[in-house]
């Protein structure tokens, strides 16, 4: 029994071992087969930095931004001047790192980081290539976006010494901006994206090394900066001395101060329009002395150009002083003012060759009494209006101008009813429709007679507005006829620059020339009038200047304006007799009349004798302006 059991047990063990050996052999064979027939791992397609540091900056940390492709230092800034640095990095499996064509070894290869370094990571399978720009400076280096140094051409036109053109090329499409640094910085931003930019720079300081900060921003929002120096010459010695008397920035309208400066040069005027800042520093000017006489009635356009009249026609310039458009007017001499109608045509004040009037029984040549409309494109004269046909050419109550009986010096067009508001220094202010019909007259009631060049027209006195107080009551006869004056009402005398306000009121510079026929203490005013056309009345609603007396009395030229954001008023006497002769820009709050800005331009009058046309320096008009929106 025991022997049989032992034999059975031995047999079973033999069978078990055989089966186990066979299974083990099969497993080994299968394992060997699998090892022999499997595919190798695919090469990695990833190309990224897993971490990055600089060997020489052990206390610095870096941020890897895969969206912008930039690696920047975010702590422990390096500032000892060393720029030759060694990158320590870890990249995705099997990837290689290059700077240009040079293979990089972590912790070994050194590069110049003065302008940043572009590292290119190439995946193990060479299918993916990603570049990372690495910089250790506080801001992104200039070279990241700028392809070349910024090019500067100062005064490219030869007549704009405080203007320049900057040329910028970038490695990719960017939008750019610049700031002229200083006490009154000027900034301009340009929204369009391009890899090539040409920027008009206006507003440099004279006689200075200007620092202009340029910025470029790519579509990912990465911004780089570069500062360029631009050195300018002094302004001409004959420019007026500028002094800032009052500046209250918190209540002022923002912007710079523009003046139409006419240099009197021994009987002729030369045009040097200029702009200055709140410190009295000239920041832009043009030398337009090559043109005959003044460049009158300058109007700035939104596209960075301006138009004006010049003796021989209408002219349009850019801010570099490049002549963009010239519309000659043969047979007509333009002066004082030009405006643009909604159809873009120009309307200009002019003398017309051969015009005559009968004055005092004598036929004489008349001047400054014709309006003309010029086609914007061709310059053809498409309309003409004759002021002598609707007014009394023999009226000499204010002054006897001879053939210059009206002396038309400014005009305004009303879109609401297609009419002109016209100032004639020697008579008053009129309203006229597009058919050359008179609608009303503002002026002292003395001396008005028959209309027409030969004096055989209607009675012009029927068109006079009656002066009333705030309650609508007419003033006494002395005020109506202009022999007396009051705090409540004054006619305009030798006025300039009428404009219609949004409320329909008329705003104007009342020069005070020969006020009350020479029987009043001289003063000039910025005056706002309410006109009731139905009842033919006029009310003085607001004024400023009477209280300043002779300090702001300008018997000629001058300007007023309303500032759109603050509604402050500008009162700008253009020639205050001295010595020295001077001009002012005064900004006052409305309606309380508090002075928040005042400047004085004292004329040097280096080239004139001080008497008559072209013998004195003047500022015809001024305004508040922004060089860039």
Residues 70 and 150 in one domain: no
Please say whether the beta carbons of 260 and 284 come within 8 A: no
Q: Which of 138, 144, 134, 142 is nearest to 112 (CA)?
A: 134
CA distance 46 to 123: 5
Q: Please report whether residue 436 resides in a domain.
A: yes
Domain span including residue 193 = 145-231
Cβ atoms < 10 Å from Cβ of 229? 10
CATH number at residue 62: 2.60.40.2340
Q: Which of 385, 373, 311, 387 is nearest to 344 (CA)?
A: 373
Residues 225 and 253 in one domain: no
CATH number at residue 199: 2.60.40.10
Burial class (CB in 10 A: 0-12, 13-18, 19+), 25: exposed
**End-of-domain residue from the set 231, 252, 284:** 231
| Average pLDDT of the chain to the nearest whole number | 92
**End-of-domain residue from the set 89, 117, 139:** 139
Q: Please report whether residue 286 resides in a domain.
A: yes
Give the residues across from 117 on adjacent strands: 134
Tokens of 291: 């043109």
Residues 104 and 167 in one domain: no
Task: Report the number of distinct structural domains present in the chain.
Answer: 3
CATH number at residue 450: 2.120.10.30
Q: Please report whether residue 12 resides in a domain.
A: no
pLDDT tens, 7-50? 334 334 433 334 333 333 343 333 444 444 555 689 999 999 99
Tokens of 145: 């976006």
pLDDT tens, 74-105? 876 555 667 899 999 999 999 999 999 999 99
Q: What angle do CA 262, 265, 271 make, to 5 degrees?
A: 30
Cβ atoms < 10 Å from Cβ of 553? 22
CA distance 260 to 568: 21
Residues 132 and 254 in one domain: no
Q: Which of 290, 303, 287, 374 is nearest to 332 (CA)?
A: 374
Q: Please report whether residue 16 resides in a domain.
A: no
pLDDT tens, 244-290? 999 999 999 999 999 999 999 999 999 999 999 999 999 999 999 99
Structure confidence at residue 75 (pLDDT): 72
Cβ atoms < 10 Å from Cβ of 338? 26
Residues 149 and 69 in one domain: no
Order of strands across the sheet with 305-310?
Answer: 296-300, 305-310, 313-318, 323-328
Residues 390 and 526 in one domain: yes
Q: Which of 515, 516, 509 is nearest to 573 (CA)?
A: 509
Residues 103 and 201 in one domain: no
Cβ atoms < 10 Å from Cβ of 318? 18
407 — alpha (psi -120 to 50), left (phi > 0) or beta?
Answer: left
CA distance 371 to 332: 10
Q: Please report whether residue 33 resides in a domain.
A: no
Cβ atoms < 10 Å from Cβ of 128? 16
Q: Would you say the C-alpha torsion 441, 571, 500, 348 has a positive or negative sign?
A: positive
155 — alpha (psi -120 to 50), left (phi > 0) or beta?
Answer: left
Residues 462 and 411 in one domain: yes
Q: What is the mean pLDDT of residues 171-179?
A: 97
Banded model confidence at residue 297, pLDDT cuts 50, 70, 90: very high
Main-chain phi, psi angles of 18, to 5 degrees: -65, -45
Residues 413 and 467 in one domain: yes
**End-of-domain residue from the set 231, 254, 289:** 231
Q: Please report whether residue 288 resides in a domain.
A: yes
Tokens 């063990």 locate to: 13
Tell me: pLDDT of 5 over 50.
no
- Which residues touch 169 (CB under 8 Å, ≥6 apart)? 146, 147, 148, 195, 196, 197
Q: Please report whether residue 590 resides in a domain.
A: yes
pLDDT tens, 496-508? 999 999 999 999 9
Residues 267 and 360 in one domain: yes
- Which residues touch 538 (CB under 8 Å, ≥6 apart)? 442, 465, 466, 467, 468, 529, 530, 531, 532
Q: How many Cα atoms are found within 13 Å in the side-chain-facing hemisphere of 472?
A: 3
Q: Please report whether residue 178 resides in a domain.
A: yes
CA distance 520 to 191: 56
Residues 351 and 493 in one domain: yes
pTM, two decimal places: 0.88
Residues 432 and 349 in one domain: yes
pLDDT tens, 186-245? 999 999 999 999 999 999 999 999 999 999 999 999 999 999 999 999 999 999 999 999
CA distance 604 to 580: 7
pLDDT tens, 408-464? 999 999 999 999 999 999 999 999 999 999 999 999 999 999 999 999 999 999 999
CA distance 603 to 471: 44
Q: What is the DSSP letter of 368?
A: S
Q: Which of 187, 155, 390 is nearest to 287 (CA)?
A: 155
């Amino acid at each position: 029994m025991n022997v049989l059991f032992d034999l059975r047990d031995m047999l079973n063990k033999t069978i078990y071992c055989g089966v186990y050996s066979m299974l083990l052999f099969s497993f080994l064979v299968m394992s060997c087969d699998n090892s022999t027939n499997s595919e190798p791992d695919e090469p990695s397609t990833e190309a990224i930095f897993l971490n990055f540091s600089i060997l020489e900056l052990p206390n610095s940390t870096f941020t890897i931004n895969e969206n912008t492709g930039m690696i920047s230092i975010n702590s422990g800034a390096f500032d000892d001047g060393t720029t030759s640095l060694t990158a320590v990095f870890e990249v995705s499996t099997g990837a290689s790192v290059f700077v240009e064509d040079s293979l990089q070894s972590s912790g070994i290869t050194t590069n110049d980081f003065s302008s940043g370094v572009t590292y290119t990571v190439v995946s193990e399978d060479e299918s993916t290539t990603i570049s990372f720009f690495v910089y250790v400076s506080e801001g992104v280096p200039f070279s990241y976006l700028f392809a070349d140094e910024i090019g500067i051409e100062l005064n490219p036109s030869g007549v704009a010494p405080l203007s320049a053109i900057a040329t910028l090329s970038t490695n990719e499409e960017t939008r750019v901006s610049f700031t002229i640094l200083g006490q009154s910085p000027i900034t301009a931003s340009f929204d369009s994206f391009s890899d090539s930019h040409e920027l008009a720079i206006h507003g440099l300081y004279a006689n200075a090394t200007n620092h202009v900060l340029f910025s470029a921003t790519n579509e990912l929002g990465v911004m780089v900066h570069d500062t360029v120096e631009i050195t300018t010459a002094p302004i001409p010695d004959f420019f007026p001395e500028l002094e800032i008397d009052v500046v209250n920035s918190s209540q002022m309208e923002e912007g710079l101060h523009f003046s139409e400066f006419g240099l009197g040069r021994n009987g002729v005027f030369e045009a040097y329009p200029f702009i200055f800042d709140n410190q009295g520093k000239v920041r832009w000017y043009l030398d337009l002395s090559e043109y005959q006489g003044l460049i009158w009635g300058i109007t700035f356009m939104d596209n960075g150009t301006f138009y004006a009249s010049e003796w021989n026609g209408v002219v349009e310039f850019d801010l570099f002083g490049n002549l963009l458009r010239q519309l000659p007017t043969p047979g007509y001499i333009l002066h004082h003012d030009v405006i643009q109608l909604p159809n873009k045509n120009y309307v200009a004040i002019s003398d017309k060759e051969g015009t005559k009037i009968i004055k005092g029984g004598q036929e004489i040549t008349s001047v400054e009494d014709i309006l003309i409309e010029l086609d914007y494109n061709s310059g053809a004269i498409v309309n003409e209006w004759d002021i002598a046909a609707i007014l009394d050419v023999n009226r000499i109550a204010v002054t006897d101008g001879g053939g210059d009986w009206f002396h038309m010096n400014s005009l305004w067009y009303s879109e609401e009813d297609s009419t002109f508001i016209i100032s004639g220094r020697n008579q008053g202010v009129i309203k006229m429709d597009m058919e050359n019909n008179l609608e009303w007259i503002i002026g002292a009631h003395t001396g008005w007679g028959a209309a027409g060049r030969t004096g055989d027209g209607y009675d012009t006195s029927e068109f006079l507005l009656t002066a009333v107080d705030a309650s609508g009551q007419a003033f006494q006869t002395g005020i109506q006829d202009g022999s007396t004056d009051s705090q409540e009402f004054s006619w305009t005398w030798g006025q300039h620059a009428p404009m219609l306000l949004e409320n329909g009121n008329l705003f104007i510079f009342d020069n005070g020339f020969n006020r009350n026929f020479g029987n009043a203490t001289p003063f000039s005013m910025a005056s706002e009038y309410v006109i009731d056309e139905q009842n033919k009345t006029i009310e003085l609603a607001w004024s400023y200047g009477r209280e300043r007396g002779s300090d702001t009395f300008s018997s000629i030229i001058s300007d007023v304006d309303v500032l759109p954001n603050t509604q402050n008023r500008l009162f700008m006497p253009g020639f205050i007799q001295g010595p020295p002769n001077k001009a002012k820009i005064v900004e006052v709050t409305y309606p309380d009349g508090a002075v928040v800005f005042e400047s004085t331009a004292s004329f040097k009058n280096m080239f004139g004798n001080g008497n008559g046309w072209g013998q004195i320096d003047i500022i015809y008009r001024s305004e508040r302006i922004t060089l860039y929106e």
